[in-house]
Amino acid sequence: MSGPFEGLRLIDLSGLAGAYGGRLFAALGAEVIKVEPPAGNPMRRMAPFVPGAGHPEASLWWAYLAMGTKSLVVDIESESDRARLGRLLAEADIVLDDHGPGVLDDRGLGYESIAASNPGVVWVSITPFGLSGPKRDWASSNLVAWAASGVLYAVGFDDQPPVVPGGPAQLGMHATALNAAVGAVLGLRGRRLIGRGQLVDLSLAEACLAISPETGLALFLDDRVHRARTGNRRTLSRPFGLYPCQDGYVSILVLMPRHWEAIAQWANEVCGNEAIIDPVFADMTVRGETMELVDSWVEELTMSMTLLEFFQEGQRRGIPITPVNTIETLRTDPHLAATGFWDTVELPTGGEVAIPGAPFRTNAQWWKLGRAPRLGEHTEELVATTDPAHGA
């Protein structure tokens, strides 16, 4: 069978904040139409680029996140184009919109106007801080959204400024887009159950706030401990965080009693450490209170071998240990090679490139994605079906 969203049409008026969500819908069978201004979607200007290629087809963000979509150029300043967009929205099942509060309403293309003629539309509004409240007109970015969430303050070393989680990977934007996708499917279900669509008010700020429980208010009010930056280890217990091997870093996460027993036993075998197997350290609170000591024992163990040795032997012993990978080491990871994770796709500029494959696997045939469209590639085709003059 085809994907569960076959036959649905999603109009994507958004940029990066909705893109991953549109991509999921396209992969699962929906017709996803990216409405672009004549100068192109903002993602088309985002580095990194295909070497040697120029605007508007060179951006790898576009080449990846717009896969499987169609491109329709609409000049919002032109009355006929606005009318065309209005007709398209009047037939849409889902709309992803990241224009600020009121921007489209002023042009008669906002949710209220469209829903009047298309009451079934599921309209996901993506804004910096939501459609209401004191900050509704504030601007944002990935960095600014993390700053507002309380998460940014707690990431980094204590002798340097706080640092954004995921750096240039724009994780806050992707979290927002994933929420947009969840909200859109919920809206589709609602349309079936109550016979009408609805407005989903989603903000970058709350998408990041939803990732804050580990540094967040409920925890703070409970223990009244000010959350400070702790570098690459967590104070909850130890070992918990990044540890150096001979040739790189590993991530060790020991919370469960069985994991502690296993790593303590290992340190005992390799380093002859008798103290570490004292049952008093089985309590993770005790390990938290003696973290410098515990860390020194664990580092003695990690520094006695290479990253690969520590990863494989640690996993053999059932301990949650992973390498600290880079983009480069991921691309040669043996597991990802064996699962056939990496896929290839044609670039809008021509030629092929390796890409991450589907984020999940299904027993039914769900996932299917072709290349990203060139600017305006589907304008003619879509005009032919939406303009009354063409007699569609």
Partner 1 sequence: MRLLDGVRVFELGIAIASPNAGRLLAHQGAEVYKVESPTSPDVVRLIGSAWLRGDDGLAPAMPDSSPYVPEFNADKKSVAIDLKRSEGREAARRLLANCDVFLANYGARALAELGLDYESVRALRPDIVYVQLPGFGSDPEMPYYPYVAWGPNQAPLVGIDDLTGHADREPAGIATVAPPDYLASLHAAFCVLAGLEQRDRTGEGVHVDIAQFEATISLLGPFAMDHALTGHAQSRIGNRSLWYAPEGVYPCRGEERWIAISVVDDDAWDRLLTIAPPELAADDRFATNESRMDNVDALDEAMAGWTSAFNNVDLAARLQRVGVAAHIVATNEDILQDQHVMESGWYAVRPSARFTRDLFGGSPLRMSETPGRWDRGGPSSGEHTGEVLTGTAGLTEEEVEALLADGAAFTMDRPDLRIDRPYENWLHVLLPREAVDSRDLL
Q: Which stretch binds partner 1 (CB under 8 A): 68-76, 184-192, 263-271, 376-384?
A: 184-192
Considering the complex, state which of residue 16 and residue 74 has its C-beta at the smaller distance from partner 1: 16
Position among 116, 280, 364, 392 found at the interface with partner 1 (CB under 8 A): 364
Question: Binding segment for partner 1 among 72-80, 265-273, 292-300, 324-332 (CB under 8 A)?
Answer: 324-332
Single residue of 108, 318, 350, 370 touching partner 1 by CB under 8 A: 318
Of 166, 286, 293, 374, the residue at the interface with partner 1 (CB under 8 A) is: 166
Query: Is 361 in contact with 387 (CB distance < 8 Å)?
Result: no
C-beta of 287: minimal distance to partner 1 in Å? 13
Give the whole-angstrom CA distance, residue 56 versus residue 54: 6
Output 75 or 201, the one with its CB closest to partner 1. 201
Please give the full DSSP string across 234-299, using - where no structure is assigned: -TTSSSEEEEEETTEEEEEE--SHHHHHHHHHHHHHHH--SGGG-GGGGSHHHHHHTHHHHHHHHH
**Does 220 participate in binding partner 1 (rule CB under 8 A)?**
yes
Report which DSSP code applies to 154: G
Sequence-distant (≥ 6) Cβ neighbours of residue 165 within 8 angstroms: 146, 151, 152, 155, 171
* Cβ proximity to partner 1, 275 vs 337, nearer residue: 337
What pairs with residue 124 in β-bridges?
Answer: 96, 200
* Binding map of partner 1 across residues 79-118, x = CB under 8 A, - = no contact: ----------------------------------------
Choose the stretch contacting partner 1; rule: CB under 8 A; options: 53-61, 80-88, 90-98, 272-280. Answer: 53-61
Beta partners for residue 95, in sequence order:
11, 123
Could you say whether residue 279 binds partner 1 (CB under 8 A)?
no
Query: Considering only residues 181, 267, 307, 369, which one is a binding residue for partner 1 as defined by CB under 8 A?
Result: 181
337: left (phi over 0), alpha (psi -120 to 50) or beta: alpha
Say whether 147 sits in a helix, a strand or coil.
helix
Local structure of 1: helix, strand or coil: coil
Question: Alpha-carbon distance 219 to 204, whole Å?
Answer: 22
- 374 touching partner 1, by CB under 8 A: no
By CB under 8 A, tell whether 324 contacts partner 1. Answer: yes
| Residue from 79, 274, 296, 327 binding partner 1 (CB under 8 A) | 327
Shortest gap between Cβ of 84 and partner 1 (angstroms)?
A: 27
C-beta of 132: minimal distance to partner 1 in Å?
8
| Shortest distance (Å) from residue 355 CB to partner 1 | 6
The burial class, CB within 10 Å (0-12 / 13-18 / 19+), for 335 is exposed
260 binds partner 1 (CB under 8 A): no
